[in-house]
């Protein structure tokens, strides 16, 4: 079966750093995606981790621990436009992706 757990909401201040955690249980695990979704829009791809460790891409970094079934998305130098939902999405056999309910991030001035 599939189970994905991430916080429902988080609030952070502009310019700060925020870490969004995700734990998952997925059979036939291949890798894990993070997507960003602004209200009323489609999700957009942020990152994909296959191996353990940290992948950095500009202000966004993503970490994966396969043995612990754990990932996090790290957002640095937060901007108001980063207010969105962040979806943790592990992939299983056949690269079918299952999405969590998402974490709604509110960035305040």
Rule CB under 8 A: which residues touch other proteins?
A: 4, 30, 33, 35, 41-45, 48, 87, 89, 94-102
Least Å distance, CB 98 to other proteins, is: 6
- SS3 for 90? strand
Least Å distance, CB 88 to other proteins, is: 8
Please, which residue, 41 or 77, has the CB nearer to other proteins?
41
Q: Collect all residues with Cβ–Cβ distance below 8 Å to 58 and sequence separation of at least 6.
A: none
Please, which residue, 69 or 102, has the CB nearer to other proteins?
102
First-to-last CA distance in the chain? Answer: 41
Least Å distance, CB 71 to other proteins, is: 15
């Amino acid at each position: 079966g599939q189970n994905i757990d991430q916080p429902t909401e988080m609030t952070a201040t502009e310019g700060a750093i925020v870490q969004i955690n995700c734990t998952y249980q997925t059979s036939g695990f291949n890798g894990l995606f993070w997507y960003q979704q602004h209200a009323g829009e489609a999700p957009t791809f942020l990152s994909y981790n296959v191996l353990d460790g940290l992948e950095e891409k500009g202000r966004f970094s993503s970490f994966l621990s396969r043995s612990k079934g754990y990932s996090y998305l790290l957002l640095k130098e937060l901007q108001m436009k980063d207010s969105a939902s962040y979806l943790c999405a592990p992939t299983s056999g056949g690269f079918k992706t299952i999405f969590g309910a998402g974490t709604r991030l509110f960035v305040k001035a």
